[in-house]
Amino acid sequence: MINVSILGYGTIGSGVFQVLKENCQIIKERTGEEIKVKSILDLRDFKGDHAEELIVHDFKEIDGDSSINIVVETMGGLHPAYEFVKASLEKGRSVCTSNKALVAAFGPELINIAEEKKCNFLFEASVGGGIPIIRPLKSSLAPDIIEQISGILNGTTNYILTEMTEKGADFETVLKDAQAKGYAEKDPSADIEGYDACRKIAILASLAYGHQTDFKDIYTEGITKITDRDINYAKKLKSKIKIIASCKNTGGKVSAMVAPGLVNATHPLYSVDGVFNAILVKGNMAGDVMFYGQGAGKLATASAVVSDIIEAAKHPGINIKTIWDNQKLEIVPFKENISKFFVRVSGTKAENETKVKEAFGNVIPVEAGYSDEYAFITEEITEGTYASAEKSLGNIINKIRFH
């Protein structure tokens, strides 16, 4: 019998309880042991809930219960999640978490404690919700040098961009609709500004390259500037706009970015719509491998947490090595990144053509029926070159990079 304690009985925590209960038979067969939830930490009482009897309000009750084998952290936030997770690992208990903020900030330290104490710190649900990506990166793709990861890692923004594309609605209208449907938070900034996707790509880059990737080093641009005109231009280019979180390894130098990007119909991420997420990984031996599924949601995310519980239960007293050390991963300075840009400037074609050529060199004009602006595609240029050209022109409305 494996005893589990769940910290936080919110959406994911209660989902973990439900998955363990509803699928107990198959989980027992696949683990070789019964997995039982012994206690659940939450400030609330949950009167009448089927987990009511298991609720405790003080972490000390769990910390001091020597029968607990595995701790599940689904509280979210950094504190006290960090302190509770650390205390559990130090007691030799494996911890399974869905908390991307915790993993992105304290990953190497917690991985190190787990290694020392011969237990496991597992975080499959922290990136891509129900999509298996952490374990595949750690084991299935272990023989490969990871050349590139490009992901649609945020369901809220993918839903908003999909609705803007399909319904022709503007950003604000779709955001309000997404909030009403529960697809966007009341304070949507973490999603729409790209911060959520940034933490997720930082975790994937850390695993892919073995060193701590500081999310603050990753250039991050959200979707708030995308308008219906941008969407119409994308349609003219037979492309869609997606917010892409990416990292790329060029001869050992790693670049990373989160920003809206144009993907054409042949790109594997083109058909990933609505709240779905997908992660495209390019290994130097395996080639392109894509992972697709629900990046959020109670049971999908809980399923990923339970997969970690099973993994931990199958390895009592054994640390499954995770290569992610404390050394800082140097990210290539942003201005050195190379992209091809789609750019819109205010004013007519006649007013802009010469100035644009002077600033950007050869460009390809794009027509979408707007006489008050001029749009074009640049050649591949560095971010530094782009920034200088934008400054010298002074009338840029928006720019989107091609993928």
Q: How far is the CB of 126 from ligand HSE (least distance, A)?
A: 8
Q: Tokens for 84, please give them.
A: 């509770």
Q: Tokens for 9, please give them.
A: 């009985």
Catalytic residue among 38, 100, 117, 200: 200
Q: How far is the CB of 107 from ligand HSE (least distance, A)?
A: 16
Q: How far is the CB of 122 from ligand HSE (least distance, A)?
A: 17
User: How many CB atoms within 10 Å of residue 288?
Assistant: 12
Q: Which is nearer to ligand HSE, 211 or 242 (CB)?
A: 242
Distance CA 124, CA 16 (A): 13
Distance CA 133, CA 206 (A): 13
> Binding residues for ligand HSE, per CB under 6 A?
129, 154-156, 191, 196, 295-296
Q: Tokens for 173, please give them.
A: 């209208």
Q: Which is nearer to ligand HSE, 5 or 154 (CB)?
A: 154
Nearest to 316 by CA among 2, 27, 96: 2
Question: Helix, strand, coil shares of the chain as percentages rounded to 5?
Answer: 40, 25, 35
Distance CA 121, CA 293 (A): 24
Residue 198 and residue 100 in contact, taking contact as beta carbons nearer than 8 Å: no
Nearest to 124 by CA among 328, 322, 326: 322
Q: Which is nearer to ligand HSE, 63 or 191 (CB)?
A: 191
Q: Which is nearer to ligand HSE, 283 or 295 (CB)?
A: 295
CA of residue 222 relative to chain centroid, distance: 13
Q: Tokens for 290, please give them.
A: 């894509």
Three-state DSSP class for residue 84: helix
Q: Which is nearer to ligand HSE, 184 or 234 (CB)?
A: 184
Q: How far is the CB of 185 from ligand HSE (least distance, A)?
A: 7
Q: How far is the CB of 183 from ligand HSE (least distance, A)?
A: 7
Distance CA 274, CA 278 (A): 11
Residues 6+ away with beta carbon under 8 Å from 218? 198, 201, 202, 256, 257, 258, 331
- Would you call 60 exposed, middle or buried from its count of C-beta atoms within 10 A (0-12, 13-18, 19+)? exposed
Q: How many contiguous H segments (helices) and E segments (strands) does the chain have?
A: 14, 18
Q: How far is the CB of 248 from ligand HSE (least distance, A)?
A: 22
Sign of CA dihedral 160, 163, 165, 168: negative
Q: Which is nearer to ligand HSE, 277 or 378 (CB)?
A: 277
Q: How far is the CB of 177 from ligand HSE (least distance, A)?
A: 15
Q: Confirm whether 200 is a catalytic residue.
A: yes
Instruction: Report in angstroms the alpha-carbon separations of 180 from 173, 186, 188.
Output: 11, 9, 12
Q: Which is nearer to ligand HSE, 94 or 156 (CB)?
A: 156
End-to-end CA distance of the chain: 49
Q: How far is the CB of 154 from ligand HSE (least distance, A)?
A: 4
Distance CA 268, CA 254 (A): 22
- Look at the block and give the residue holding tokens 């910290």: 7
Q: Which is nearer to ligand HSE, 195 or 402 (CB)?
A: 195
Q: Which residues are known to be catalytic?
A: 200
